[in-house]
Amino acid sequence: MVKRSGSPAIEHAVLVTGFEPFGGATTNPSECVARALDGRTIVGRSVVAAVLPCVFGDARRALVRAIDRVRPELVVCVGEAGGRAEISVERVAINIDDARIPDNAGAQPIDRLIVTGGPVGYWSSLPIKAIVSALDAEKIAATVSQSAGTFVCNHIFYALMHALRDRPGVRGGFVHVPYLPEQVIGRPGIPSMALARTTRALEIVIATSLATRADAVIVGGATH
């Protein structure tokens, strides 16, 4: 995990972030998967995890601090997408905070720019099609997603890509993961994915990102 002390940067590191629980929940699969990956070695790189507060602004500052400390070559931010059945590899972050529910500090910004003067959107710099293809090959349900929403997940995704503009050679992106099975007990019809499977999926996301420079040309769009 990222420590607050002034430890030196790790060579060839990958930073993975998750979020603390929000909206009254006691668990967030993105935190669980980040903790599960912390300290692992993937394709010769050390994975360092950070858990971000689910708070507009604070999350972003914590992310930038973690990047500055870890100096990763790759950053994968992870968030919960309750109700989705598959790993969602996000394509684009948009420059808007528009909260349907309050964040963990009680703030609920509506239609506020994340970065004044920033572009409308940033593309993920992960090889999103190659990642979905690699997950398919391991029989883990996955898709390219065209929207990361407008809550703290999109906020951190946009902030990440904005921060990486000044860090050439560092790539990054965002992945949404389903609920854990324990989150859907008593809620028929809501899909979930076991933690071991989600963790394996993120390993594949990281390994594929490290191994792939130019993304694959593979069908993966949405008609609407």
Q: Is 119 in the site for a second copy (CB under 8 A)?
A: yes
**173 versus 220: smaller Cβ distance to a second copy:** 220
Q: Is 67 in the site for a second copy (CB under 8 A)?
A: no
Is 65 among the residues that bind a second copy (CB under 8 A)? no
d(CA 12, CA 10): 6
The Cβ-side half-sphere exposure at 69, using a 13 Å CA radius, reads: 17
Q: Which of 20, 38, 58, 98 binds a second copy (CB under 8 A)?
A: 98
Q: What residue type is 75 in one-letter code?
A: V
Q: Which is nearer to a second copy, 68 or 182 (CB)?
A: 182
Integer Cα distance of 49 and 38 in angstroms: 5
Interaction of residue 130 with a second copy, rule CB under 8 A:
no
Question: Shortest Cβ distance from residue 131 to a second copy (Å)?
Answer: 13
122, 164, 170, 175: residue in contact with a second copy (rule CB under 8 A): 122
Catalytic, 153? Answer yes
CA dihedral of 9, 39, 54, 4, whole degrees rounded to 10: -40
With CA atoms as reference, report the closest residue to 34 among 70, 4, 2.
2
**CB distance 51 to 108 below 8 Å:** no
Comparing CB distances to a second copy, the nearer of 48 and 63 is 63
3-state secondary structure 183-198: HCCCCCCCCCCCHHHH
Residue from 42, 92, 175, 210 in contact with a second copy (CB under 8 A): 92
Q: At 70, is the secondary structure helix, strand, or coil?
A: helix
Q: Per-residue x/- marks for a second copy, 19-38, CB under 8 A?
A: ----x---------------
Question: According to the binding rule CB under 8 A, does residue 8 interact with a second copy?
Answer: no
Interaction residues for a second copy, span 205-224 (CB under 8 A): 215, 217-224
| Catalytic residue ranges | 90, 153, 176
